Amino acid sequence: MITAVAGALAGAQVGYLIGKRGGAAILRRVRNRRLHEGVNRAARMLDRYGHGKAIVLARFVPIVRTVLNPMAGISGVPSRVFAVWQVVGGLLWTVGVMLAGYLLGTSVPNIDSYLLPVVAVIVVLSLVPVAWEIYRSRRASEAS
């Protein structure tokens, strides 16, 4: 559990630092529509809920959880504010997910027989956007 929390916190902090150091320049070069939609949602969350609440809530919103950390760095959220609230959000997220997994594992008989196919589907679905981007970039380079 400690390793999971540490990984979640380290990943969020690295994302923030990337955003703070050069995120705006990187973002201008990326042409991914879904990423820009996620960036817009993250910016709206920061504006609507304030830094602390947005950083915690973002952990529970797909895509936003990925882009809010660099977005916080880009938009100038103070380092200490980000660090405190990402620790709160990271703890809630990792402990909550692990607790849900434990409760599900104890209440569903033979869950291990379902686990491998579910993991395989998740891996395949997460590789689809990567494959799509590779396909699009190769097609674009062939056209030029």
Q: Does residue 24 register a pLDDT over 80?
A: no
Task: Report the pLDDT value the prediction gives residue 107, as an integer from 0 to 100.
Answer: 85
Q: If we measure between CA atoms, which residue out of 90, 38, 27, 33 comes closest to residue 62?
A: 38
What value does the mean pLDDT take over residues 33-48? 79
Cα distance between residue 124 and residue 66, in whole Å: 19
Q: What is the pLDDT of residues 70-115, one digit of tens each?
A: 889 988 899 999 999 999 999 998 998 889 888 887 887 887 787 7
Return d(Cα 79, Cα 41) in angstroms, integer.
21
Note the helical H segments in the chain: 2-18, 24-29, 33-58, 64-74, 79-107, 112-143
* pLDDT at position 17: 94
